[in-house]
Amino acid sequence: MTVTLAALVARFGGELVGDGARAVSQVAPLDRATPDEIGFVSQSKYFAQLAGTRAGAVILPPDARDATELPRILTPNPYLYFARVSALLNPPPRPPAGIHSAATVAPDAEIAADASIAAGAVVGSGAVIGARSVIGPNCTVGDGARIGADCLLHANVTVYHRCEVGDRAILHSGCVIGADGFGFAPNAGQWEKIPQIGRVVIGNDVEVGACTTIDRGALEDTVIEDGVKLDNLIQVAHNVTIGAHTAIAGCTGIAGSAKIGRHCMIGGAAMIFGHIEIADGTRISTNTLITKSLTKPGTYTSALPFSEHEVWQRNAVHMRNLDKLVGRVKELEKKLKELESKS
């Protein structure tokens, strides 16, 4: 599809400068854009790229009004505007409504007339699939599970029994919603399984990345609130709560019963201990280990920079002796104060 700049402004707002009849058919980075594509710049350090771009139009912040003669849309948040234009020009493919002949759907499942169930999908007894939702090839929606309206389950997604997914969710391939939490009771040197009888309850506008796993609760539910964005390969353990509009990058692990606040940002490969709480608006850097509750919002970092192996080994020895070193410093400070008091 193609769209004019005037139509974009009518749809998304912003201030149009230049030829509103200029039509674009795709988004692109400035250094590779062609005359039928639109690019964007959000930071002043990239304004110099405007001189050499072949883009047909650009999206800029208001203070860059005079940075180019190209047709342009001025907006306070060019990155967000660019994302919305990209979504308009690149709608996800929509399969036809209906149940494929190679799908298996329980007789008592409730499937909206305009939903799409692909080949190989299995929809269990009492499951509900909402309006306009797409259940991709080889997905499994368990007994009594509920999928809201306008959801997209890519191929090979598994939603276990009784779990619930809200409206407009996107679940990427290989993610598993509602597997058993890691619950075992020790018994004479062996492990006895504890039934995991809670559910996973996912709110509206949630996206779950490929091969991410969200375990069902042991007794109560695991809860993912509205607008949460989870990257690929994240482990969310049983009874975790993730607050609304929190974003978590890939390879993060969250242990059982942790409660993460709203509007948090957690970097990749972070590790969150169980049974702790993280305040709303907290930022956690990549590779950071969180071992206790964070009651005050802020940015928390614990990762050490890498070094050559021999240097790391020497530093590791020093770190093991830090407690002794602190004790010696305190003792010296104590003696220094005694000397000062005598003088």
Length of the chain: 343
- Single-letter amino acid, residue 337: K
CA 185: distance to chain centroid?
Answer: 32
* 238 is a catalytic site residue: yes
Q: Which residue has the tokens 């907006």?
A: 75
Q: Which residue has the tokens 């058919």?
A: 25
* Pair 267, 289: CB distance under 8 Å: no
Instruction: For CA atoms 229, 167, 237, 141, give the dihedral sign.
Output: negative
Q: Which residue has the tokens 């509602």?
A: 178
Q: Which residue has the tokens 């996973």?
A: 200
Q: Which DSSP letter does residue 92 get?
A: P
- The torsion region of residue 109 among left (phi > 0), alpha (psi -120 to 50) and beta comes to beta
Pairwise CA distance, residues 273 & 255, whole Å: 5
Q: Which of 272, 224, 268, 262 is nearest to 248 (CA)?
A: 268
Catalytic one of 154, 161, 172, 238: 238
Q: Which of 30, 74, 78 is nearest to 54 (CA)?
A: 30
Pairwise CA distance, residues 341 & 332, whole Å: 14
Pairwise CA distance, residues 113 & 94, whole Å: 15
Write the CB contacts of 268 (distance below 8 Å, at least 6 apart in sequence): 231, 249, 250, 251, 252, 286, 287
* Pair 160, 141: CB distance under 8 Å: no
* Pair 261, 243: CB distance under 8 Å: yes
Strand partners, 278: 260, 294
- The torsion region of residue 94 among left (phi > 0), alpha (psi -120 to 50) and beta comes to beta
- Give catalytic residues, as residue numbers: 238
